[in-house]
Structure 1
Amino acid sequence: MTAVAGDPLASIAPRVGEHLNRALHRLFTREEQLFLLGEDLVDPYGGAFKITKGLSTGFPGRVLSTPLSEGGIVGAGGGLALCGNKVIVEIMFGDFIALAFDQLLNFASKSVSMYGREVGVPLVVRCPVGGNRGYGPTHSQSPQKHFIGIPNLALYELSPFHDVEAVLGAALNRGAPGIFFEDKVLYTRRMYRDGRVDDLFRFELLGSAAGWAHTFPQAEGGTSPAVVVLAPGGMTHRALEAARRLRTEHGCSVHLLTPAQLYPLDLDPVLPLLASADRVVVVEESTAGGTWGAEVARVVHERIWSSLRGPVVLLNSADSIIPTAGHLESRVLLGADRIAAGIVAAAGLGGSRAAGAPFEELPAEVSGAAGVPLVVPKLNNNDTTYLLTDWLVDEGEWVEPGTEVVSLETSKAVQDIEVTEAGYVHRVAAVGDEPEVGDVLAFLLPQPPAPGARASAPVPVTRTERPAPTAAGPVPGEDRPGRVHTLDRIQQGTAAVVTRSHREVPAGFTVVRAEVGPILDALAELGEETGTTFGLAEALVKAVAAQHAEFPHFFGSLLDDRTVALADAPHVGVTVDTDGSLYVPVVRQAHKRSLEDVADTLMEFRMKALTKDFLAQELDGGNIAVSLNPDPGVVLVHPIVLWPQLCMVSVGAVDEEYRPGADGTPRAVRYVHLGLAYDHRVVNGRDAVRFLTGVRSVLERRDEPRKWLGNAAITAEEPA
C-alpha cells in the first residue's frame, strides 16, 4: 500500500477532501463498471462538500444525481451491485442513513448469502458524519455504532493517514456491502505522509490497506507506551492534542491507533502494542452504549486480558442531542480536553510522571488512595494558569460523570470543567486561586469527606495574593469610586499585545482607496461555477502574498538595529474575531495556495474560532498580518503591528458611491480603504505607498481570481 499523506504544515500536502476526490477519479478511471449515485452530485455542484467535483464531467452516464430518497438511492445502488456492477452511493449527511437502514440490513447485506450461494454485492455507501461544524442536531451525528454486528456489512472510516483509493478499492473488491464513514472535520485538514505527523510524532502503517496507522513519539525509542488510544479518523487530531498535553504536562507516553476498517474488527496487527501498554483507551464522537469502542473492549478483554493493567477505558460524547451553537456543541462532543482529563483520571496522573514509568509507582495520594483527582486541563495555548471563579457543586456533594463542577477563567473565556468519574467532591482549590495546568482542583471520593477536612494537593496550587498598598495607588477593592469597570482576562490579553506593540514598534500608517466592484463580481461568478464561497478576504490574502517577491523586507523580522531576517515565503495571519475572542491564525505559503484552498482554510479558521480549538502551530509563524473589518460603516481601521512582525494590512467595509460614467450616466462604484501599519525602522512611507499600490492593483484586476483557482504546488496529482 502506498501511504499518501503529508505534514499538516506543508502546503504541498493535499487536504483530505482533495485526496478523496482524486481517489474517486482514479477508481473511475480503473473500474469501467463503477457507478456513483447520490443527491446533487453532478457538476457544477459536485455534492454538498464538493467531494464528487469533476466526476460527472469526466465520467458522464456513470455519476447520477438522484431524488431525495436515501432508501431509494441505496436500494437502487444495491440492485445495480447485485447485477454485477460496482457502486458507490453518497448520503449527503450521514444522519440520513437511518432512512436507508432497511435496505442495508434486509436487502444488501443479506443478498450476499441468502440465495443458497455466494452472490457479489460490491456496494459502498459514503456517509459524511460528525459535528464541530455548527450544523445542529440532525446534521452532526456519528451513527457508526448502529451498524456494528450486521453480517456481511463492513464498516470503514476516513483517516488522514490511509490511502483512500486503496481502502475503497478493498471495500469494493470484497463483493459485499460496506459503509465508508467520513468525518466532515477532516475534509479541510491535510493528509499526513512520509511517516511524519509533526515535530513530535511519527507514524507507521500496520496490516492491510484498510489496517491501522500507529502514531508514536519519535524520540521514544523502544519504550513501552503508558497509554494506547484507539481513535477513528475524525478523532485523530483531538487525540493527538491530548497526547501532546499529557506528554508535556505529565511526561506520559501516549501512542495512537487509527483504523481504516472499523468492522469486522482485526486487532491482530496491534495486539502486541496493546498488550505492552499500561492503559488502553478508546475515544469516539458517538454517544456511549453499543459502540465500536465496546466491541474493541470485548475483543481486547477476550484476547489479552492477562496482559492488561486495567479494563479498557471508553470515552464518548455526552448523552445529548448536538446543539447548533458552537459553545454548546463543544460541551456535548468529545474533545481534546475531555480526552486528556479522562486519561488523567483513569491513569491517576495527578502530578508529573516520567515517560514509561508504571502507574503503580505514583504516590498513593495520586493513584487513588485519596480518591480520583480532578486536575486542571489545558484549555488553550495562551495560558499556563487560570482563575478559579466558582464551584458549581457543594463540598461533599455526590456527582455523576459528565457533571460540571467548577468554573475556570482563561484569557479567552470562562469554561466549566466536568468530571469523568463519579464520587463525592472533596475540594482542594478555592475560589480566587490561580491553579496551573495539571494542578489538582478536587478529589472524587468513594465516601463523603469528613466534616471540615481539607485535602492536600500533590501539586502546589498558586494562590492569588492581595497586593500591598504602594505609592502608585490603593489596594484593589479599597477606596474605589462607586462604579468601576474591571478588565476581564480576554481584554487583559489583548492589552498585553497592544502594549508591547506600542512600546517596541515605532509604527507608521498609510491608507489608499481601492475599487473592488469588478473583483467581487468575478469572485461571485467563480463561486457559482465551483460551489465554493469566495469573498474579499480570500482575494486580500492572495493580493498581500503576491507582494512578497518585490517587498521581501515587509515580511521579515528585525534581528538587530540594522539587520532584517527575510522570510522564504509569505505566511499571512488573518484576524478572526468571534464571541469576544480575537485570533490571528496563519495561512502558510499563501502565494502557492489556490483560491479554493485559501477559502477552505479561512472557513476552517472561523469554525475553530467558534469552538476555541486552535492548535499552537496554527497561530504561530506568521510574518505579516491582515486585519479584516467587514462590518457596515467601518471606514478606516488603524491596526497594530504584531511583534516580531513588521507590517499589518487592514481593510474596512465595502462602501459604495456614484460617479459619472463615460457617457455621463451615474454608475455605482464599490470601494474599500486599505491601510498599512508598519515598523518605521524598516519601512519608509514611500515604500508603504508602493506596497499598498501593489495590493490595490491586484484587487482591481477582474481577471485575477481565475488565475488563482489552480496551483501546481498545491493541487498536483499525487503518485498512485
Structure 2
Amino acid sequence: MTPIAATTVAPRVAENLNHALHRLFDREERLYLLGEDLLDPYGGAFKITKGLSSRFGDRVVATPLSEGGILGVAGGLALCGNEVIVEVMFGDFLALGFDQVLNFASKSVSMYGRRVPIPLVVRCPVGGNRGYGPTHSQSPQKHFVGIPNLALYELSPFHDAEAVLHTALQRGAPAILFEDKVLYTRRMYQENRVDDAYRYRITGSGLGWAHAFPDGEEDSADFVVVAPGGVTHRALDAARALREAHGRSVHVVTPAQLHPLDIEPVLPLLASAGRVAVVEEGTAGGTWGSEVAQVVHERIWSSLSGPVLSLSSADSIIPTAGHLEREVLLGAEDIRDGIRRAAGWGDALRETAQPGPTQAQAAAVETAAAGTTTPVTVPKLNNNDETYLVADWLVDEDAWVEPDTEVVALDTSKAQADIAASGSGYLRRVAAVGDELAVGDILGHLLPERAPRAAPEQDRPARPTRSAAPDRPVEPIRPLTEDAPQEDLAAEVHRLDRAQQGTAAVVAKSHREVPAGFTLVKAQVDDVLDRLDRLSDEGGAVLGLAEVVVKAVADAQRDFPRFFGSLVDDRTVALADAPHVGVTVDVDGSLYVPVVTRAHERSLAEIADTLMDFRMKALGKEFTAHELTGGNIAVSLNPDPGVVLVQPLVLWPQLCMVSVGAVGDECRIDEAGVARTRRFVHIGLAYDHRVVNGRDAVLFLTRIKAALEEPAQLGGELTWTTA
C-alpha cells in the first residue's frame, strides 16, 4: 500500500479551527478564552478548544451557564486592554447575551468621545441538520446585521480560521464568528481545488471572497450563487446537479466577512453572469441575504437579467425528527429547483400558471389517443423484504410530473426510499398511505390528460397479512382465562418492528441457504491502540479499532477477491470491482448494516467520519435505501466489555462476515520472564464454505491480524498529520 503523504490530507474544519486557536495563544500573550465546558479532557461541546486549557490554563476560563455573564466579563476584559474570544456553546444561546453585545461591547468602542479598542470575538456554532431540535439548531445571523461597530464573519471551508480570527481581533471592535456545525467534520478545501470538477480562487484584498467554478470556466458563469460558508456545500451540490442536467455553468461565491459587506471583489462576476441567487439557512425577513440583494440591485441593476433570487429556510421552528428537519431547512435540491425556476431551465414545475404545455406534456398529449399511460410500480429495493409500506405521497393528485421526479416514499425494513417517475404525465394515485405492497405492484399511473375517474379497483392489491413464517397463518391470540394452558399465560407480547423483521428475514435466509464455516484468531492490539490515541490527540478525530478493521478488510480485497464476491450459480462467483464494506450498527433493538463504499480509497479519518454519520442516522432511523445496499462483505462490531467470541452470520448474497469482539486484558510472560498485561481482541470470520475453505480463511484473518499487531503495514494510514 502506498503511504499517504502528510500534505495530501486536508484538515477538517474543526481541526483547522483548533489549530488556529493554538497558534493565536502561542503568539498573543494577552489572549483569553471564555466559555462553558472548555477545559480538557472535554474541550467544548464540539472539541474545538481541545488541548488549550492544558497548555494555557491561566488564560482559558470555564464559566457558569450564563451567556449574559460570560459576555459581560469578556467585554470588561477587552475594555481593559486584553484580547478575548468567547465560545457560546450553541448560537441559539447568544440571544441570552444580546444585551451585552448590543448595548455594551459594540457601543463602548465609540461612546466615550474617543475610539476605545474592544478586541472581542464571539464564536457561535449555528445551524441544523444535526437533529438537535428547535433551540439548538437555529441560524440567528440576521439579528446582528447592521449593529454599529459589530462585524460578522462566517466559517467556511475556503478560508483559514487563523486568518479570520486574527483579522477580527485586529479590528479592535467586537465581532461574531458564526460556525455552521455541519462544517466541523468536513475537510478544508486547499490548493485551489474543490474536487475533480470544480476549482476555486480567493479574490479581493484581505480575507476576500472564495470563487468556486467548473474547471476551465472561471470567466463564464450562467448563474452565480452567493452562499455563506455554512451552505457552501449545498450550493455546490446544486451547481453540480444543474451542470449535469442542463450543461449550465453555475458558480458559487463565499465571503469570510458577512458584515460590513464588501461586495466589490465579486461585482464584475455577478454583472457578467446577469443572474444571481443569495442562499442562507436562516428564515426570510431582514436577512444578510436581503442586504446583499439590495446592494446588488443598486450597483448592477442594468446588468441583471432578472431580480436577485433569495432562498432561505421555511418560516418554522426546526423539528428534531430528521425527515421533518429536512422539510424545514434549505437543502441543495431547494437551491437547484429555485434556480431552475428563476432561469427557466425546465425540469421544475412552475409555481405560476402554465401558459402552455412543456415538451414532455405535448408528447404525452400526442399519445392520449392511443390511451397510453405510464405506471408507477414498486421497485426492488433490497433483498431483505418481500413487501414495502407506502409512507407518503410526495406529489399531489392530478399534478403534472416530469421524468425522474420523486413521487412517493416507501418504507423498507431498514430505511425510507423515494421512488422517481420513469415518465411524465398527470399523477393518478392507486395505492394509499399505509398500503403494504410487493415488488411490481402498482402505486399509481401517469396519465397523458387529467382524468376525474377513480383508479381501477383491480390495480389495487389486497393488503398482505403478516405471517410468523412463510405460508403459515398467524394464529389468533386467545383470551387469557384461568383454564388456559400454562404456556399461553403471557403477560404481554412483543411485536417486531419493520427493522427487526428485516433482520429476521436475512438471518433466516442465511441459515437456510449458506453452509457457513467459522474461524477465529486473536490479535494483540497495544501498539495500534496507542498509535490511534496519539493520532486522535493530534488531529482531534476519535479513531478506534473499528476504522482500522474496516480499512484492513478493504485492503485485503486485492489478494482475496473471492471473499468479496457473490455466487452466480454452484460453479460461478461474480467478483466485485471494489470493496464495499458493510458495518453493523445496533441501536434501540434495530440492527442496520450501512455500507462504506470503496473503503480501500478512504483514509482512516474519512472512515471515522462515515461511521459517526452512520451512528447518528441509526439513532434517528434516517438511513436511505442506497446506504444499506451494495455491500460485498460485512464487519460485525461488538465492543461491549466482556464480549470475547462472536460468531456472525453471512449476509446473503455476500460470502463473508468479519466479527470483532471487545478489547480485553490478559496477563502474559514476556521474554525476560516478567508478567505484563497486554490488550487483545478476537477476530472471527464466518464464510460460505462453498467458495471459501478453512486455509483461505486463516490466511485472510492472518492478514487482518497483522494489520492490528503491526500497524506500520497500513503505511501512511497511521502516520499522516493534519497540520
TM-score for both structures, normalised by structure 2: 0.69
The residue that corresponds to 1:512 in the other structure is 520
Amino acid at match of 2:560: F
| C-alpha distance in 2 between matches for 1:465 and 1:526 | 66
Amino acid at match of 1:675: L
Q: Is 2:94 aligned against 1:97?
A: yes
Q: Is 2:658 aligned against 1:649?
A: yes
Give the superposition deviation at 1:189. 1.0
Alignment of structure 1 residues 115-194 onto 2, 5 Å:
115-194=112-191
Deviations 1:314-368, CA, capped at 9 Å, x for gaps: 221122221222222222211122222222232333249xxxxxxxxx9964599
| C-alpha distance in 2 between matches for 1:619 and 1:196 | 31
Give the superposition deviation at 1:390. 4.0
Q: CA 1:27–1:396 in structure 2 vs 1: closer, same or farther (change >3 Å)?
A: closer
Q: Describe the SS at the equivalent of 1:131.
A: coil
Give the superposition deviation at 1:220. 3.8
TM-score for both structures, normalised by structure 1: 0.69
| C-alpha distance in 1 between matches for 2:191 and 2:631 | 25
The residue that corresponds to 1:374 in the other structure is none
Give the superposition deviation at 1:35. 1.2
Give the superposition deviation at 1:175. 1.0
| C-alpha distance in 1 between matches for 2:649 and 2:156 | 43
Q: Describe the SS at the equivalent of 2:429.
A: coil
Give the superposition deviation at 1:129. 0.8
Q: CA 1:108–1:531 in structure 2 vs 1: closer, same or farther (change >3 Å)?
A: same
Give the superposition deviation at 1:630. 8.0
Give the superposition deviation at 1:22. 0.7
| C-alpha distance in 1 between matches for 2:575 and 2:358 | 50
Give the superposition deviation at 1:123. 0.6
Give the superposition deviation at 1:252. 3.0
Deviations 1:103-146, CA, capped at 9 Å, x for gaps: 11011111111111111111100001111111111111111111
Q: Describe the SS at the equivalent of 2:604.
A: coil
The residue that corresponds to 1:583 in the other structure is 594
Q: Describe the SS at the equivalent of 2:684.
A: strand
Count of aligned positions: 610
The 8 Å contact of residues 284 and 334 in structure 1, kept in 2 or not, is answered as yes
Q: Describe the SS at the equivalent of 1:428.
A: strand
Q: Is 2:235 aligned against 1:239?
A: yes
Q: Which moved more, 1:57-66 or 1:511-520?
A: 511-520
Deviations 1:510-533, CA, capped at 9 Å, x for gaps: 342769999999999999999999
Amino acid at match of 2:427: A
Amino acid at match of 1:254: V
Give the superposition deviation at 1:75. 1.3
| C-alpha distance in 2 between matches for 1:100 and 1:154 | 16
| C-alpha distance in 1 between matches for 2:114 and 2:602 | 58
Give the superposition deviation at 1:697. 7.9
The residue that corresponds to 1:55 in the other structure is 52
Q: Is 2:559 aligned against 1:553?
A: yes
Amino acid at match of 1:54: G
Deviations 1:8-39, CA, capped at 9 Å, x for gaps: x9972211111111111111112222111111
| C-alpha distance in 2 between matches for 1:11 and 1:22 | 17
Amino acid at match of 1:17: A
| C-alpha distance in 1 between matches for 2:595 and 2:232 | 24
Q: CA 1:328–1:520 in structure 2 vs 1: closer, same or farther (change >3 Å)?
A: farther
Q: Is 2:638 aligned against 1:638?
A: no
Q: Is 2:541 aligned against 1:543?
A: no
The 8 Å contact of residues 24 and 162 in structure 2, kept in 1 or not, is answered as yes
| C-alpha distance in 2 between matches for 1:601 and 1:340 | 25
Specify which of 429, 440, 459 is matched with residue 431 of structure 1.
429
Q: Describe the SS at the equivalent of 1:430.
A: strand
| C-alpha distance in 1 between matches for 2:416 and 2:532 | 36
Specify which of 31, 34, 45 is matched with residue 34 of structure 1.
31
Q: CA 1:367–1:107 in structure 2 vs 1: closer, same or farther (change >3 Å)?
A: farther
Specify which of 270, 279, 291 is matched with residue 295 of structure 1.
291
Give the superposition deviation at 1:389. 6.9
Q: Is 2:701 aligned against 1:692?
A: yes
| C-alpha distance in 2 between matches for 1:17 and 1:85 | 25
Deviations 1:591-632, CA, capped at 9 Å, x for gaps: 9636xx75444213333565868899x999999642447899
Q: Is 2:68 aligned against 1:68?
A: no
Give the superposition deviation at 1:160. 0.9
The 8 Å contact of residues 523 and 683 in structure 2, kept in 1 or not, is answered as no
Q: Describe the SS at the equivalent of 1:152.
A: coil
Q: Describe the SS at the equivalent of 1:78.
A: helix
Q: Describe the SS at the equivalent of 2:560.
A: helix
| C-alpha distance in 1 between matches for 2:278 and 2:551 | 43
Q: Describe the SS at the equivalent of 2:559.
A: helix
The residue that corresponds to 1:318 in the other structure is 314
Q: CA 1:149–1:405 in structure 2 vs 1: closer, same or farther (change >3 Å)?
A: farther
Amino acid at match of 1:304: I
Computing the radius of gyration over CA atoms, which structure comes out larger, 1 or 2?
A: 2
The 8 Å contact of residues 647 and 679 in structure 1, kept in 2 or not, is answered as no
Q: CA 1:590–1:219 in structure 2 vs 1: closer, same or farther (change >3 Å)?
A: closer
| C-alpha distance in 2 between matches for 1:218 and 1:260 | 23
Q: Describe the SS at the equivalent of 1:429.
A: strand
Amino acid at match of 2:310: L
The 8 Å contact of residues 166 and 209 in structure 1, kept in 2 or not, is answered as no
The 8 Å contact of residues 38 and 65 in structure 1, kept in 2 or not, is answered as yes
Specify which of 261, 267, 271 is matched with residue 271 of structure 1.
267
| C-alpha distance in 2 between matches for 1:26 and 1:528 | 19
The 8 Å contact of residues 581 and 599 in structure 2, kept in 1 or not, is answered as yes
Q: Is 2:600 aligned against 1:604?
A: no
Q: CA 1:712–1:263 in structure 2 vs 1: closer, same or farther (change >3 Å)?
A: farther
Alignment of structure 1 residues 59-458 onto 2, 5 Å:
59-220=56-217, 222-225=219-222, 227-351=223-347, 365-366=357-358, 390=393, 393=396, 407-409=408-410, 412-413=415-416, 428-431=426-429
Q: Describe the SS at the equivalent of 2:324.
A: helix
Give the superposition deviation at 1:76. 1.3
Q: Is 2:35 aligned against 1:24?
A: no
Amino acid at match of 1:510: F
Q: CA 1:13–1:576 in structure 2 vs 1: closer, same or farther (change >3 Å)?
A: farther
Q: Describe the SS at the equivalent of 2:34.
A: strand
The 8 Å contact of residues 129 and 184 in structure 1, kept in 2 or not, is answered as yes
Q: CA 1:296–1:636 in structure 2 vs 1: closer, same or farther (change >3 Å)?
A: same
Q: CA 1:210–1:249 in structure 2 vs 1: closer, same or farther (change >3 Å)?
A: same
| C-alpha distance in 2 between matches for 1:466 and 1:219 | 56
| C-alpha distance in 2 between matches for 1:413 and 1:64 | 46
Deviations 1:270-326, CA, capped at 9 Å, x for gaps: 112212225322221111111111111111111111111111122211222212222
Task: Give unpaired runs (5+ residues) of structure 1.
Answer: 1-6, 353-361, 371-381, 398-403, 418-425, 435-439, 444-451, 456-463, 468-474, 657-668
Q: RMSD of the TM alignment (CA)?
A: 5.6
The 8 Å contact of residues 200 and 217 in structure 1, kept in 2 or not, is answered as yes
The 8 Å contact of residues 588 and 622 in structure 1, kept in 2 or not, is answered as no
Q: Describe the SS at the equivalent of 2:131.
A: coil
Q: Describe the SS at the equivalent of 1:61.
A: helix
Q: Which moved more, 1:164-173 or 1:517-526?
A: 517-526
| C-alpha distance in 1 between matches for 2:82 and 2:46 | 25
Task: Give unpaired runs (5+ residues) of structure 2.
Answer: 349-353, 363-380, 383-388, 432-438, 440-444, 471-497, 566-571, 665-678
Q: CA 1:165–1:54 in structure 2 vs 1: closer, same or farther (change >3 Å)?
A: same
Task: State the identity as a percent.
Answer: 54
| C-alpha distance in 1 between matches for 2:246 and 2:447 | 18
| C-alpha distance in 2 between matches for 1:107 and 1:197 | 41
The residue that corresponds to 2:367 in the other structure is none
Deviations 1:218-271, CA, capped at 9 Å, x for gaps: 15464332x211221121222222222222223332211122111111111111
| C-alpha distance in 2 between matches for 1:626 and 1:105 | 54
